Structure 1
Amino acid sequence: MKTRGRVESENQLFGERAEKGHHKVIQHAKASDAKTTPKHYDFKTVESDMQAFWREAAIYKFDDSSDKPLYAIDTPPPTVSGSLHIGHIFSYTQAEMIARYKRMQGYNVFYPFGFDDNGLPTERLVERENGILAKELPREVFIEKCIQTTSKYEAAFRALWQTLGFSVDWSLQYETISPRAQSISQKSFIALYKAGKAYLKQSPVLWCPLCQTSIAQAELEVATRETTFNDIAFKVDGEVLAVATTRPELLFGCVCLFVHPEDSRYQHLIGKRARVPLYDYDIPIMADDDVEREKGTGVVMCATFGDSTDVMWYDRYQLPYRAVMTFEGTIDRAVPIIGGMPVLEARQQVLKALAEAGLLLSSKTIEHAIAIHERCGHDTEILPSRQWYIDILSNKQRYLEAADEINWYPAHMKHRYLTWVENLKWDWCISRQRYFGVPFPVWYCQNCGAVMLAEEAKLPVNPMESKPDKPCTCGCTTFEPEMGVFDTWATSSMTPFINAKWGEAEDRTEQLMPMALRTQAHEIIRTWAFYTIVKSLYHTNRIPWKDIMISGFVLAKKGEKMSKSKQNAAMAPDALIKTHSADVIRYWAASAKLGTDTFFDLDELKGARKFITKLWHATKFAAQHLEDYNGELPETLLPIDRWIIEKCRLTVNQAKSQLDVYEVGAARLALDGFFWHNLCDDYLEIVKERLYQPEHRGYDARRSAQYALNDCFMNMLKCYAIYVPHITEYLYQNFFKASEQENSLHQMLWNQRETGDTAILAFGEDVQKTVSEARRYKSTNGLSLKAELALIEVKTKSEFQAWFRESESDLLACCRAGKLVFTEEV
């Protein structure tokens, strides 16, 4: 069995931070000063110290005057709707790793952070925490409670991200309820209204009876519920006509029956009238191609309103409206038999009345898909209401084209976007009948009803607290304020514009947009991604960002997403960090392929803790042997050293190619393979004697190993810096800073070096096989790894034998063997 060699020094290692001076000669930290570097790694002290150092030195501050290429990131502002969970850590940390990576590739990284702190999710949090209902309090009292609550949560959110070591420029922080965000959101609305893209309309709208507000199509989710599929007897010319429906409580709202024009069963009924059971009024029978002939009886009841098809037919044929549902989710009191009842009670009452009258032909239990509100899980209704909309249906083709202009990572997520756009049925309803949100900058003339817009120079405005500065064109000077607020997505879709201070005094839209990267989870492709694309195309005629990086979910158990609302987020991130360290949590976060869901339990952190321990001891071992290294390239590098340097270069390039397509997990896997197996398991064991005994092996041979150690460990620290920034910075500050130009490891660049020495890489593979076989032989035969072997047979190509001869002392010492015997590989 292959065993890993120890890399810890037998002597206690301590280091000192050398003063930074001339850098022509490397000055590594000394092991003789026992004041700075402890024997064991104390993450609780180190992580807070490193964060303080980054903050005080302004390591991550965006430099607006830099001549480096700009890399701007549009990060999702977390919704203030409850505490953060490990799922947030998973996705946000992956994105933060990209920010660090791009900074170490020479980019001037614009990395802001915000909080989505207005709208229904926040209101529901406030109601839940305070045991109140918004509608039962004065508006201003409830809004004040919202402000207090969001301030508390935002402070906690920010503290958590800082504890994780996020390289955010916090001076760029924004909140979607802030005056600047409100001004930009209102400015967007005014521009769209003037362009004819935002409009007010009295029409059927999706409505949540529990949340008491209109909602958009993107806020719907599908739920499966058990219900009954009922065949009900309508009458046509005295004959029974069976009509199937799952919503018999809407019988009083039935305005038409539809059949397919080519359905031979019912062609003779087209144009006739049918009598509605129980309520005894007549309605027309019409033909439409959208009727599904195979569903139910093939005769469809159109009621106002059961679903989106009812709305389509209502508009298409200008059908009358008959009120059944109220905004509270009960039956209108004017409806006979069931007036005032909740929906489910009304449904059972109607079925009972139909059965008693002999009008219920059949009823069977089925599993039925219904639309629910994603925010609360309540069944939605469709009700006529005056709402504000943004036209999206007339521009679907442009949105589809935009998808091709954006680079999707992973690529298959593009299909989700396309499917959503292709299946859009409603314009975007942006008004909400709530309280804590961005107000519409609108008043209505009390005389003629005209819309009065606020002046852009006065934004942001609250029409409930102010009035227009000029009279209406009709001369009227009294106005009614719009009482609704924007859908929260109407503002959060403006995050690139908020970051760019669009239309404000320090507007840098041309500098920042399109941004380089949008990071987000896959469930908000239909909302945040889509709505941001809509706004960007309308306002700039350009895509909002070039790349979009889409993360997966963290699942608590099979098939269940971590969420604030579910009781599966008990392992709070702050507790996990205090127990296991930020770097351990970060390392775990880079464990999955981009866009894929993953499971989480505490056992997942074991490997991360082992890695931190290994990195600590391996780097200390290397530093001990670099104390007297002068930084010069030896005249001759031994083959083993050439191999590890070339393998390191190849690994760095492999990691870079993965990170360039945002695969932080695959990149970490490549680095781990090199660090654990090539560098620690094999190379350090092979060169250990050469490092410890230069008086026997020669000082030139030791300098060759020192050059390779310095090269590989500096490269590993830089590469791992994006994953575990605290420990890598600490190791740099203690052991390498004295020899480098940069104040922080995170201000350094990855080495951009070509590789191509395939021969030395192949030689290295043969060396590893040789060592592995020797270890396996001892293990199989019950021998100690320190047991002496008479000889080792090396099977290799003839052209590698000279390199093996140069490496013979290393291999004999590592394997504890007497001599090497060569067999030529065919």
Structure 2
Amino acid sequence: MEKRYNFTQIEKQMQEFWEQKQIYKFNPDAKGQVYSIDTPPPTVSGSLHIGHLFSYTQAEMAARFRRMQGQNVFYPFGFDDNGLPTERLVEREEGIRANALPRSEFIEKCRRTTEKYENEFKTFWNSLGFSVDWASEYQTISPEVQKISQELFLELVKMGKAYTKESPVLWCTECRTSIAQAELDTTDIESTFNYVPFYVDGYPLEVATTRPELLYGCVCLFVNPSDERYQQYIGKSAVVPLYDYEIPIYTDEKVCIDKGTGVVMCATFGDSTDAEWYDEHSLPYRKVILPDGSIDNDVPHIGGLSISDARKTIIRLLDEHRLLFKSETITHAVGTHERCGKPVEIIPSRQWYIDILSERERFLKAADEINWYPSNMKSRYIAWVENLKWDWCISRQRYFGVPFPVWYCKNCGEPVFAEKDQLPVNPLETEYKGICRCGCPEFIPESAVFDTWATSSITPQINERLGLKLTPMSMRTHAHEIIRTWTFYTIVRSLYHTGEIPWNDLMICGFILARKGEKISKSKSNNELDPKYLISAHSADVLRYWTAGARLGTDTFFSPDELEVSKRFITKLWNASKFAISHLQDIDTEQTPDLLPVDRWIIERVNETAANAARLLYEYEIGSAKHEIDNLFWKDFCDNYIEIVKERLYKPDIHGAEERKSGQYALYYALLNIMKLYAIYVPHITEYIYQEYFLQYEKKVSIHLTHWVKPSQIDNEIILFGENLKNIIFEMRKYKSERNLSMRTEMDFLNIHTDRCFEEWFILTEKDIKACTRAAKINYIFE
């Protein structure tokens, strides 16, 4: 082995070896229980950052672990390359707006962009040493996946679970499309509470509002039925300031008595409560805000203005007309679109929905059938489902997505649907051949496309396109912020389409934070730590080892300084292996010698660690398992065992040839199995060491096709003996260190305090102890 580990050459060499030998190719007929992973298809919305490296790598380690437990791992990968995130990427990179180009031209730009980024993503995952079977790769925009998505949509229509209606919908004026509740973020913004008079019987009734630009859209006032201040107003009419038309005064228990004046104006639409009242009280609609974020031209005073300019104008006019009693600066939470960060409006529009509200209890029950890792993430899911207010809006007024296989009768508006053998179909390019029930032969194609989640929510079914029965899949992994979207939506679709939960286990990862509370993301300015650079500068294994350090589900901070520990580990693993292998050149692996106690101890510690780490990894505690292995490697193997056995390996003429063989056997066993334990974390260096030395004795072509040792039981007595021995070594080192003595300083004698049951083992280990401690004589003091 070389003096230093050259990762720049070796990591690439190992990746090429794995590809050439098809080490990770899934064979459905192979031995072992199938362990299937529902990997999140990364959204093609920009370059990958270290946050992706963190969560995807933790899951990849789980895949490697299962493979080394003898399971037949199905580890597919896909790309979520359609919908709004991809379109926004193209708009940013090209400096254009989608609606400024012919639809076909913009879609072609999207296709070229996704192909470029997917090639980059794939190269990146491979550079990290991912054990993915790329033969099972998919793209959510591909004709194959479009067919599956459209087919399952039609299935929902037949079930009565997908429907279309005209109603208030969440709308992003920046992205010019409807959105779903799950795409809402909440942002605190500075605004004003404006107190204005609505006149009732000639007297002012004071109302506080943050949305004065919606005065023209006001359709009624609400008070709480238990608010004694306003009992005399209930059932009367009020005059809207500036616009001088009358509206009724109603009661509703949702009115907060302590907020503002306790009188609330209901406009179409200021917020989700306005939308609820609109349905519950059968209120009229007054148009104010248009889909592009401007005010309708028919609105007096502010027609044609932007929302922010309209608000300023109305406040000025109210003040000029002495209709602004006071204005308070406040900070309040508003709903924003997670994709662009702009405040979300509510406007009426015809959209497609999937029914989720009627099956809320079913979705809550499903949570109990899934194993959540960590378990506390289940509460986030439950809170989300319990607080759902809207059915899932799945239509988007965009271009690059899976088309709805729907046309509408030109006469009566009734929707008609494609046949299964037509799929995939784009109704904008294919005429509907048929006659509506009303007798009309002409049809208008649907121009909207599926929300990207409507397709990525069926990844278990997409994975089954290869002919495998996978549902429920073994494991789904992703970060905690998409529990409300990807977790929830996939549970919905799986229950509707298969009647089963989509997976048995959920592995929920945390975030990488740049500074306290700030997530690293593609849209922030804190992503200067390019993971491609970090890999080229520090190595994939160094990054992987660092990634494994965090507790599952918890957020962690990152800076390049964090990698120093990982680098020291790689150096230590290389040097320890180099030392061990130098003493194993003449080993006879066909013979098992009589083992000395200290050799039995290190073997048993390896077995114990394998069992403990496996127990943790079956619960996806990647970091806790690594901590167990680190303790074995650093403290037991390097700091103690190698130092204890070193002279016996160098000097068989003093210690005996058979005693040396005992040490060789234990050294081989310990190093090989430590390599296996670390292989899931640092696959490149462990594979290289395996190929350089162990391959000549082992049957498997790759260390990643070997299995971890699975001890039937652990010899706790020999473990306890080893702990006693370690304490003795520790006290000797402490004694010399406190007196500024070299560890090689000879000692006249060494007193060993121990239990008499260990007497024989200590006597058999005496030569090793003397060599390690430089003690001329050993005195035993039995307790």
Shorter-chain TM-score range: over 0.9
- The yes-or-no answer on 1:534 pairing with 2:498 is no
Q: Distance in 1 between matches of 2:190 and 2:221?
A: 25
Matches of 1:446 and 1:277, distance apart in 2: 42
Query: Do the aligned partners of 2:168 and 2:347 also contact (CA within 8 Å) in 1?
Result: yes
1:129-171 per-residue CA deviation (whole Å, 9 max, x = no partner) reads: 1111111111101111100010000000000101111110001
**Matching residue of 1:226:** 190
The structure whose RCO (Cα within 8 Å, separation 6+) is larger is 1
Say yes or no: does 1:498 pair with 2:462. Answer: yes
Deviation, structure 1 residue 192: 0.6
Aligned pairs (5 A) from 1:92-111:
92-111=56-75
The yes-or-no answer on 1:71 pairing with 2:35 is yes
Which whole-Å CA distance do the structure 2 matches of 1:308 and 1:475 have between them?
39
Q: Distance in 1 between matches of 2:43 and 2:698?
A: 42
Note the C-alpha offset of 1:386: 0.8
Contact (CA 8 Å) 1:555, 1:599: kept in 2 or not?
yes
Post-superposition CA distance 1:400-442 (Å, at most 9, x none): 0000010000000001100000000001111101010100000
User: For residue 648 of structure 1, what is the aligned residue in structure 2?
Assistant: 606
Are the equivalent residues in 2 in contact too, given 1:649–1:754 (CA < 8 A)?
A: no
SS at match of 1:774: helix
Match of 2:503 among 541, 545, 555: 545
Secondary structure of the equivalent of 2:114? helix
CA–CA separation in structure 2 for the residues paired with 1:382 and 1:107:
50
User: Could you list the per-position Cα deviations for residues 9-46 of structure 1 after superposition, in whole angstroms to 9, with x for gaps in the alignment?
Assistant: xxxxxxxxxxxxxxxxxxxxxxxxxxxx3222111111
**Which of 200, 221, 224 in structure 2 is aligned with 1:257?**
221
Distance 2:589 2:758 in 1: 29
Cα shift readout 1:696-736 (whole Å, capped 9, x = no counterpart):
11111111111111111111111111011111111111111
Q: Equivalents in 2 of 1:808, 1:148: separation in Å? A: 71
- Preserved contact between residue 261 and residue 267 of structure 1 (Cα < 8 Å): yes
Deviations 1:321-366 (Å, cap 9, x if unpaired)?
0111111112112111222222222112212222222222221111
Counterpart contact for 2:593–2:665, Cα < 8 Å: no
SS at match of 1:790: coil
2: distance between equivalents of 1:144 and 1:514?
36
Higher deviation after alignment, 788-797 or 173-182: 788-797
Q: Which runs of 5+ in 1 are unaligned?
A: 1-36
Map 1:425-464; keep pairs closer than 5 Å: 425-464=389-428
The one-letter code matched in structure 2 to 1:823 is: I
Matched, 1:267 2:194: no
Distance 1:113 1:458 in 2: 27
- How much does 1:573 deviate? 1.2
Contact 2:593 2:661 survives alignment (8 Å): no
Counterparts of 2:698 and 2:343, CA distance in 1: 63
**Amino acid corresponding to residue 48 of structure 2 in structure 1:** L
Q: Contact 2:750 / 2:777 at 8 angstroms: preserved in 1?
A: yes
1:566 paired with 2:530, answer: no
In 1, are the aligned partners of 2:193 and 2:209 still within 8 Å (CA)? yes
Select which of 811, 815, 825 maps to 2:769.
Answer: 811
- Structure 2 distance, partners of 1:663, 1:40, is 32
Q: Pick from 180, 185, 191: which aligns with 1:216?
A: 180
Q: Which amino acid aligns with 2:179?
A: I
> What's 2:306 paired with?
342
1:134 matched to which residue of 2? 98
Counterpart-to-counterpart distance in 2, 1:201 and 1:314: 15
- Residue deviations 1:371-399 (CA, integer Å, cap 9, x gap): 00000011110001111111111111100
For 1:21, the equivalent position in structure 2 comes to none
1:633, distance to aligned residue in structure 2 (A) = 5.4
Structure 2 counterpart of 1:594: 552
* Alignment pair present for 1:406 and 2:370: yes
Distance in 2 (alpha carbons) for counterparts of 1:672 and 1:420? 39
Contact residue 76 and residue 114 of structure 1 kept, 8 A:
yes
CA deviation string 1:243-300 (max 9, x = no partner)? 1111111111111111111111111211111111111111111111111111111111
How far is 1:473 from its partner?
3.0
User: Does 2:79 align with 1:121?
Assistant: no
Cα 1:733–1:635 change in 2 (3 A) is closer
After superposition, residues 180-329 of structure 1 pair within 5 angstroms as: 180-329=144-293
After superposition, what is the alpha-carbon deviation per residue over 1:225-249, rounded to whole angstroms, capped at 9, x for unaligned? 0011122111111121111111111
Cα drift, residue 767 of structure 1? 0.8
- Which contiguous aligned blocks of 4+ residues in structure 1 show a shift greater than 4 angstroms? 632-635
CA distance in 1, matches of 2:37, 2:763: 53
Distance (whole Å) between structure 2 residues aligned to residue 654 and residue 351 of structure 1: 67
Q: What is the CA–CA distance in structure 2 between the aligned matches of 1:378 and 1:439, rounded to whole Å?
A: 26
* Matched position secondary structure for 1:687: helix
Q: 2:49, 2:531 within 8 Å by CA — same for their partners in 1?
A: yes
Q: Which sits farther off after the overlay, 534-543 or 440-449? A: 440-449
Aligned CA-pair RMSD: 1.1
What is the match of residue 14 of structure 1? none
Residue 358 of structure 1 aligns to a residue whose secondary structure is: coil
Q: State the distance in 2 between where 1:168 and 1:500 align.
A: 16
Q: How many Å separate the matches in 1 of 2:319 and 2:19?
A: 74
Distance across 2 between alignment mates of 1:703 and 1:507: 52
Between 792-801 and 637-646, report the one with greater CA deviation. Answer: 792-801
Deviation at 1:823, TM superposition (A): 2.5
- 1:18-97 → structure 2 map (5 Å cutoff): 37-97=1-61
Any idea what SS the aligned residue of 1:512 has? coil
Q: Secondary structure at the match of 1:818?
A: coil
Q: Percent identity?
A: 59
Are positions 1:386 and 2:344 aligned together?
Answer: no
Query: Aligned letter for 1:278?
Result: L
- The aligned amino acid for 2:132 is V
| 1:802 to partner: Cα distance | 2.3
2:760 aligned residue (802, 806, 809): 802
Instruction: Indicate the SS of the match to 1:318.
Output: coil
| 1:611-641 residue CA offsets vs partner (Å, 9 max, x unmatched) | 1111111112111222222125545321111
Q: Which residue of 2 aligns with 1:31?
A: none
Aligned partners of 2:415 and 2:301: how far apart in 1? 41
Measured after TM superposition, the shift of residue 684 of structure 1 is: 0.2
State which of 98, 103, 128 in structure 2 corresponds to 1:164: 128
**Is the 8 Å Cα contact of residues 393 and 424 (structure 1) preserved in structure 2?**
yes
Write the letter of the residue equivalent to 2:223: V
SS of aligned partner of 1:372: strand
- Give the deviation of 1:682 after TM superposition: 0.5
Residues of 2 paired with 1:64 and 1:507: CA distance?
10
Code of the aligned partner of 2:765: S
Q: Quick one: distance in 1 between partners of 2:751 and 2:375? A: 49
> Given the alignment of the two structures, is residue 705 of structure 1 paired with residue 663 of structure 2, yes or no?
yes
CA contact (8 A) 1:634 1:700 kept: no
Counterpart pick for 1:627 among 574, 580, 585: 585
CA distance in 2, matches of 1:802, 1:66: 48
